[in-house]
Structures are given as structure tokens and as C-alpha cells.
Amino acid sequence: MVTQMNAPAPAPKSRRNRVLAIVIVVVVLLAAGLVGAELYARHTVVNCLTEQFEADLGSQVDIGLSAKPVLLQAIDKQVPHVTIDSADSSFGPAQDMQVHARANDIDITGTDTSAASIGNSSADIAWSADGILRTVQAQTFGGLISSVQSSAADGTLTFDVGPAGLAQLVVRPVVGNGMVDVETVSAEVLGLGIPTDLVDGVVQIISTSLQNYPLGMTPQSLVVDDTGITMSLAGGAYDVPQATDDSARCGV
């Protein structure tokens, strides 16, 4: 006599739904945890890199990271790129100077002396005529300078000296041998020479402001137009100096 075996009864639908709901909740929690960890890691790395670059550049900056997950960067220690922007519309002594830089192929393994190594970098700089004037007027001799005009026609900056522009100092910034040189084109007061100290002071502050190069870059081109100065920079391999405070090291 053959005994017929009955197939197991299917699990109740409500039980299957509960299992599916639990799986979905677990997946959502895991995803939320990863997203939260990624956001925290990005915030930590941005703050750390900001401290490192500000210490190296001497100016406040905003840091932007590439789209590559920071949690993955923690494994391979490779950052495709970061962007660096002047945060307070100034760079070194220059007022109203806008700097947008990009550092590529960054290794954040770090050493005792280096926070990170950069493969190459580039930057675009824009310095308005108004910013040039305010930079010069902030110097001890600045009260003698009443206005400045930038000219695309001959690539010069003309500073009016004294009331009603009775005197004019004309300079021309040019790029040569990886540096910016500020040439004095003319300096006259009604045909008489402007005091040497004033001429030297203006030339020096313009030169200094245009030689504050980030990340070991050098100037590639400089253009004076009717709104001010634009300049492009480029750099090769560069080691970002390590912060003296170990807590500021950018280990992710």
C-alpha cells in the first residue's frame, strides 16, 4: 500500500511580506550608513585639506573634492583632483584677487614631512583694477595714489598720483623666465620725475602680489585688459608640507 505524501503548505503571504520588509529595511539602513560615513569622511577631508593648503598658501581657501568616494580613497590613497578657490577675495597682499586652482593626481599617503604629493596643477587668476588700486592704497604711500586705469591697448597700468592726476606712473607687468616682472614705462609730474621711493613702492607691491604662486606653480601667461589683469599658472610635481599638528594630518 502506497502512502501519498502531501507537499508542504506554502508559507503564508503575510510571512513572505515580513521577510521582504526586513530585507528592505536592512538594505536601506546599510545604504544610509554608507552615505552617512561618506558625508562625514568628505567633511573631515575637506576641513583637513583646507587647513593644509591655507597653511601652505597663507590665504583662506575653499576646497572642492572630486566625485570619487572618499571611502574608496581611504583604501587606495589616490585623489583624482581637488579644486582650490580663494575664499575671501584676496590672495596674499592682493585685494580682490580671484584665484581658481586645480591640483591633479594627488597621493595622500603622506610622509613625516609631506601631507600629500601632487602630480600637476593649474590656476587662473583675475585681479581687478579696483582691487589693484585698493592694494596699492593700503600701503604706507598709498594715500598719494588716487586712481588706476588698465589698458588692453598697450598692456599697461596707469596710476594717477596726487589730486586731479597731476602726475602719472605707468607700469607694464610681463612674464619672463617663470616670473612676473613689472617694468616702469614712465613716471612724471608735469615733465618732472616722480620720487623714486613712490615708484619703487608701487612696483614692489604689484610685483609681490603677482608672485604669490600656489603649489609651486609658475606663470604661463599674463594679460592686461580694460578691467584688470588675468594670469594663468601651471605646475608639476609638488609636495604639500606636513602640518606641525599631527591631528591636522589628512589620513582618511
Report DSSP letters for 112-181, one per residue. SSEEEEEEEEEEEEEEEHHHHHHHHHTSTTGGGEEEEEEETTTTEEEEEESGGG-EEEEEEEEEETTEEE
pLDDT of residue 31: 62
For residue range 138-194, what is the model confidence (pLDDT) as tens digits? 999 888 899 999 999 999 999 998 776 678 899 999 998 888 999 989 887 655 566
Residue 161: exposure state from Cβ atoms within 10 A (0-12, 13-18, ≥19)? buried
Alpha-carbon torsion 194, 200, 206, 210, what sign?
A: positive
What is the mean predicted confidence (pLDDT) over 82-103? 84
Identify the pLDDT of residue 147: 92
Q: How does pLDDT run across 36-81, given as a tens digit for each residue?
A: 666 777 777 777 777 777 776 667 788 888 878 777 777 777 888 8
pLDDT value at position 108? 78
Q: What pLDDT, on the 0 to 100 scale, is given for residue 235?
A: 92
C-alpha Rg value of the chain to the nearest Å: 29
Identify the pLDDT of residue 10. 56
Confidence of residue 247 (pLDDT cuts 50, 70, 90): very low
